[in-house]
Amino acid sequence: MELEEAIRGRRTHKAYAREPVDRETLDELFELARWAPNHHLTNPWRFRVLGPESLEKLKRSAAPEAAAKLDRAPTLVCASVKLTGDPVQDEEDLCATACAVYIVLVAAHARGLAGYWRTPGVLRTPDGRAAAGMGEDELFVALIHLGHARGEKGPPERLAPPDFVRYLP
């Protein structure tokens, strides 16, 4: 798949087949994610693939409706950014981690997988953070749902570049 096709064709999916993403494929996605741009090469991103025990702990930490949404995809990856305490570096590292998450999503799509970038509130709670193995020096960025999509999705409406780009003199 060409890069432009991967970017334009990626969609958020909320319905998945039961088959989890294999470890080899996940390792390929994370290998690509490490090439996200990051100032000072801090490599601030942290990815944790949630296994059955971690997922059950996370679901127990969530409200019932939120817990049910955690069962949508067969593979869940928690992404966080390691904080330094320097506000400027932390802002740059947060942006770098967001880029790394997007690389995982686009690379998954290029391999025929579907993905969904979520930010459930449970991963901002002490119990949720503990279930996902996040340290005190980390900020939650994304819960990435991965798997094989059930069904197809068309492209959503998007603003055209003239609506959000300005060329300044």
Q: Do residues 108 and 114 touch, judged by C-beta distance below 8 A?
A: yes
Q: At what angle do helices 87-110 and 23-33 cross, to 10 degrees?
A: 140
Say which amino acid occupies 137. Answer: D
Asked: is 3-150 a CATH 3.30.300.90 domain? The reply is no
Q: In whole angstroms, what separates CA 115 from the centre of its chain?
A: 8
d(CA 10, CA 5): 8
Q: What is the pTM of this model?
A: 0.93
Tens digit of pLDDT per residue, the chain (169 long)? 898 898 988 998 999 999 999 999 999 999 999 999 998 999 999 999 999 999 999 999 999 999 999 999 999 999 999 999 999 999 999 999 999 999 999 999 999 999 999 999 999 999 999 999 999 999 999 999 999 999 888 888 889 999 999 999 9
Contact residues for 148 (Cβ-Cβ < 8 A; gap 6+): 16, 17, 19, 112, 113, 114
Q: Give the pLDDT score at 154.
A: 83
The residues spanned by each domain of the chain are 3-150
Pairing of strands 75-82, 114-118: unpaired
Count of beta carbons in the 10 Å neighbourhood of residue 78: 24
